[in-house]
Amino acid sequence: AQKITQTQPGMFVQEKEAVTLDCTYDTSDQSYGLFWYKQPSSGEMIFLIYQGSYDEQNATEGRYSLNFQKARKSANLVISASQLGDSAMYFCAMRERELGSSNTGKLIFGQGTTLQVKP
Amino acid sequence: DSGVTQTPKHLITATGQRVTLRCSPRSGDLSVYWYQQSLDQGLQFLIHYYNGEERAKGNILERFSAQQFPDLHSELNLSSLELGDSALYFCASTRSSGGEDNEQFFGPGTRLTVL
């Protein structure tokens, strides 16, 4: 079965510094998608960035970039120049495909990493 | 604002009761996904509808059911509620039926508390 693992329950980073949040995945599919979401204390899930398994370049969106290492099955999120507003829970997710099932874009999620940015 | 709306934002009810959670997808999106976020189970996929048809089912209890209407809004019905059903329920929407989308936008969630 496909699986997402986030091994860092909590992280601290100094304001204005960069931080890397780890995500490893397990799948036998050749085609898959990887997503990162931010969940602040208010509870909403904010989409940050997407990486397709066939994308040759690492995805970037503003201060967010995804360090995609396919052979190692890792998709780490890098946040540059951290801001106080980056303090939140971060989730890595993978679009799962089941053999023989209808096409679906359902996501499976990791356990999340809580990031705290210190002033 | 993701463009996905969910009502109500909060819901407090008693064990044994039945509630309905509502979701309206982003304009133009045909797929609606429901997820449950609880402290012990984390974020789990419940069910996926595409253009009115059920496409995939996850760890959804038999006491739970969902449907997607012709105007594409979706409702998640939870019945015979138990304390363990207390959770944050999200819906998300995408344009296609599955593997083509490079984004999946979530609504603000409905926080259900069962007393």
pLDDT of residue A36: 98
**In this structure, are residues A49 and A64 in contact, taking their beta carbons and an 8 Å threshold?**
yes
Interchain proximity A105–B98, CB inside 8 Å: yes
Question: For residue A94, which residues of chain B lie inside 8 Å, CB to CB?
Answer: none
Q: Is the pLDDT of residue A102 over 90?
A: no
By CA distance, what is B53's nearest residue in A?
Answer: A102
Could you say which of A43, A50, A106 has the minimum Cβ distance to residue B45?
A106
Task: Give A36-39's long-range contacts (Cβ < 8 A, gap of 24+).
Answer: A36/A64, A36/A66, A36/A75, A36/A77, A36/A90, A36/A91, A36/A92, A36/A93, A37/A90, A37/A91, A37/A93, A37/B106, A38/A86, A38/A88, A38/A89, A38/A90, A38/A91, A39/A88, A39/A89, A39/A90, A39/A91, A39/A112
Tokens of A117: 């940015």
Residue B83 DSSP SS3: helix
Query: B26-58 burial, b for 16+ CB within 10 Å, e for fewer?
Result: beebbbbbbbbbeeeeebbbbbbbbeeeebbeb
| Segment B39-59, tens digit of pLDDT | 888 999 999 999 999 999 998
How confident is the prediction for chain B on average, in pLDDT? 94
Structure confidence at residue A98 as a pLDDT band (50, 70, 90): low
Interchain proximity B45–A97, CB inside 8 Å: no
Look-up: residue for tokens 């979701």? B23
Q: Is the pLDDT of residue A101 over 90?
A: no
Interchain proximity A45–B98, CB inside 8 Å: no
Measure in Å the smallest separation between the Cα of A45 and chain B Cα atoms.
Answer: 6
Look-up: residue for tokens 């679906």? A104
What distances in angstroms separate CA A114 from CA B39, B90, B98, B106, one per listed residue? Answer: 14, 20, 29, 19
Structure confidence at residue A28 as a pLDDT band (50, 70, 90): confident
3-state secondary structure B37-49: EECCCEEEEEEEE
Identify whether A119 is preceded by a cis peptide bond (ω within 30 of 0): no
By CA distance, what is A32's nearest residue in B?
Answer: B99
Q: Is the pLDDT of residue A97 over 80?
A: no
Distance CA A75, CA A24 (A): 6
Q: Is the pLDDT of residue B16 over 90?
A: yes
Question: For residue B105, which residues of chain A lie inside 8 Å, CB to CB?
Answer: 47
- Nearest Cα residue to B30 out of B65, B83, B74, B60: B74
Question: For residue B56, which residues of chain A lie inside 8 Å, CB to CB?
Answer: 98, 101-102, 104, 106
| Segment A9-20, tens digit of pLDDT | 999 999 999 999
pLDDT of residue A56: 86
Mean pLDDT of B24-35: 95
| Segment B61-101, tens digit of pLDDT | 999 999 999 999 999 999 999 999 999 999 999 988 776 77
pLDDT of residue A89: 97
Interchain proximity B56–A50, CB inside 8 Å: no
Distance CA B2, CA A96 (A): 22
Distance CA B65, CA B79 (A): 9
